[in-house]
Structure 1
Amino acid sequence: MMNRRAALAATVASTVLPLVATDVRAQSEYPNRPIRLLVGFPPGGGVDLTARPLLPHLQPRLGQPVVVENRPGANGNLAVDAACKAPADGYTLLVGNTGPLAANHALYRNLPFDTQRDLTPVAQLISTPLVLVVSPNLGVNSLRDLLAMARAKPDELNMGTGGNGGSPHLCLEAIKQREGLEIVHVPYRGSAPALQDLIGGRIQLMIDTYNLFRGAHEAGQVKVLAISSLQRHPSLPDVPTMDEAGLTGFESVGWVGLFAPAATPVPILDRLEEAVRGAMTGTDLPQTYLSQGGLPSFSGRAAFGAVVGRDRQRLGELIQKVGVRLD
């Protein structure tokens, strides 16, 4: 009996130890081939514009090509699903934002993945405050003016967004819940058509990231009333925060960050986190993000994970309260 047990143990060891050695060697040699960054939105969108400037800074730090692969569809869920099912070897990663990673679990009933279980945060890249803009023809000059008008004219103001369940829509719902307002939400198939209707006078206000409005703002076609972060944006020093402008303590800020499959080995996660840290310090990448309307906001795995978990709970509770569903 003892001889058989010894023989069995030897057989198991001879099988397992080479696999362990191979795994350790693969981690120590990481990366040795190109790395894909999945993006769940089309080229030119906010998440894509965050991912692409990162590439030339990651490549020299990792010693391998890093490429963006756009997989748009289902409010970011297609790319998230692919990332969740990818091998946990550090070669397929996700650049994702607040919607798919912290809100979609509450917006969709039957997702084939759980981002909290199947993905792990690697690093935050930017935070994404939203700005509230109105048509110059509306006749309001401040957020307080707009809130007073909304109270006096329930259901007469129309706010456009790029679709149901996105960060702008949820920001509007948070304001409506807090202030007891009746503002009509008008979802469009994308933010650009909504902006055209705002400029054309068919809707009266919008909430979205500033990079969407920059051209129209500079041309005097929209008026920026407030920003949703608790700090003013360096590119908009004269625009008050919503907290300053009448919504005391209000904050609604999204983020974009790097994620990996949950079982990715810690040494690989460490390598990726340090590469992003290097890209965000001592380079022109933060200035690029500022010019696009984002706030450079690097944080590592632990701190970013806490942010993702907090927003997942906060947005889940808001979505349940207002009854928004996308399936």
Structure 2
Amino acid sequence: MRQPLRSLASRLATLIAVTYSPMSPALAQQGPAAPARILVGFSPGGTLDVVTRALAEYLREPLNRTVTVENKPGAGGRIAIDALRAAPVDGSVAMLCPDFLTSIYPSVFRKLNYTPEKDIRPVSTVAEFPMALAVPGSSPVKTFGEYALWVRAHPDKANFGHAASGGPTHFLGLQIGKNIGSPLEDVPFQGAAPMINNLVGGNVAAGSSTVGDFAQYHNAGKLRVLAVTSAQRSPLLPDVPTFAELGFKDLTAVGTLAICLPPQTSEGTVAQWSAAIRKAVGDEKFASKIRTLGFVSAGSSPGEALAKFNTLRSFWEPIIRSSGFKAD
């Protein structure tokens, strides 16, 4: 019996050595996966880039892999979509998807390089961001009610600045004019920063942008935010009412950021990314980091993310249609 026992012990020792050796498949599976990238269709240093880089940091642990950010700016995010469509479907490439890629662009552009329903697969929301209307700090207007009266009394001077034609802050301003009962002339700028500089300088009568863009200038007295589009008041601007409080419920809309994967990605990979994002955005350190930028962290299932995008599309489509605005 001794020889068979020695043989069995030898085989067991060999099996254990192979199974737990540094190069064995069993141990390799416990190590980190290959690095992943999140594409951002906007320039480095902007708020969307900053939020994505913060997210990437908090995704490392739940995804068990290094996550980096790759900027592909241009065409309002549409260049990045081309890169996502051409990416592998193994979960190594994702993209930050602001809702306007699906909620606004299909109604604005005569030709798009993608079909939202086929080419963008949201796996989880990341954050929401309210928008706001502001006037220069030197303006005699103190409230939204006073602003509405001023617009009706000075229709020839009633303009508003915004970051870009065809974006949510553009159409928000047009919808505000519709609610007031007197149209507002839109003045587009190349980004929020030059628009705010002109608003602070009094070169435009009002401005439409995100709460995060306006907060520091409002708190410094350089401009005055009159109302915000969120359902509740912003923690950055607790003294500013919501449009809903003022009786304008159809001006309640917040922008949404989500992470998307290539359309043919497997259900298992989608579920893995979704769970990891929900864990990351639920971390209070991440939430507090993006809160200073005017964002509210918000994770979701893939189905909930898609439903949010569809709801915002239903909100913006009639507003865009009534404006008659189109872009090439």
Q: Shared topology, TM-score over 0.5?
A: yes
Aligned-residue offset at 1:100? 1.9
Question: Which runs of structure 2 are paired with 1:261-276 in the superposition (5 Å)?
Answer: 261-276=262-277
Aligned-residue offset at 1:282? 3.7
Give the match's secondary structure for 1:165.
Answer: coil
Amino acid in structure 2 at the alignment position of 1:77: R
Say whether the 8 Å CA contact 1:143–1:246 is kept in structure 2: no
Aligned counterpart, 2:120: 119
Say whether the 8 Å CA contact 2:130–2:254 is kept in structure 1: yes
Give CA deviations for 1:89-116 in whole Å, capped at 9, x if unaligned.
2111110212223211121122121122
Aligned counterpart, 2:94: 93
What RMSD over aligned residues (CA atoms) do the two structures have, in Å?
1.8
Give the match's secondary structure for 2:104.
Answer: helix
TM-score between the two structures when normalised by the length of structure 1: 0.87
Task: Please say which structure displays the higher CA radius of gyration.
Answer: 2
Distance 1:214 1:249 in 2: 23
Aligned counterpart, 1:63: 64
Distance 2:122 2:31 in 1: 19
Distance 1:29 1:162, change over 3 A: farther
Give CA deviations for 1:186-226 in whole Å, capped at 9, x if unaligned.
00111111111111111121111122223322321101111
Of 28-37 and 228-237, deviating more is 28-37
Distance 2:315 2:173 in 1: 15
Amino acid in structure 1 at the alignment position of 2:138: N
Aligned counterpart, 1:20: none
Identity in percent? 31
Of 64-73 and 273-282, deviating more is 273-282
Aligned-residue offset at 1:287? 1.1
Amino acid in structure 2 at the alignment position of 1:133: A
Say whether the 8 Å CA contact 1:155–1:183 is kept in structure 2: no
Aligned-residue offset at 1:273? 0.7
Distance 1:104 1:228 in 2: 20
Say whether the 8 Å CA contact 2:174–2:184 is kept in structure 1: no
Aligned counterpart, 1:138: 139
Say whether the 8 Å CA contact 2:136–2:224 is kept in structure 1: yes
Distance 1:113 1:258, change over 3 A: same
Aligned counterpart, 1:22: none
Aligned counterpart, 2:160: 159
Aligned-residue offset at 1:312? 2.0
Aligned counterpart, 1:23: none
Aligned counterpart, 2:149: 148
Distance 1:115 1:86 in 2: 16
Amino acid in structure 1 at the alignment position of 2:116: T
Give the match's secondary structure for 2:261.
Answer: strand
Give the match's secondary structure for 2:111.
Answer: coil
Aligned-residue offset at 1:231? 0.9
Distance 1:170 1:249 in 2: 13
Q: How many residue pairs end up in the alignment?
A: 300
Which stretches in structure 1 are left out of the alignment for 5+ residues? 1-27
Aligned counterpart, 2:228: 227
Aligned counterpart, 2:282: 281
Aligned counterpart, 2:106: 105
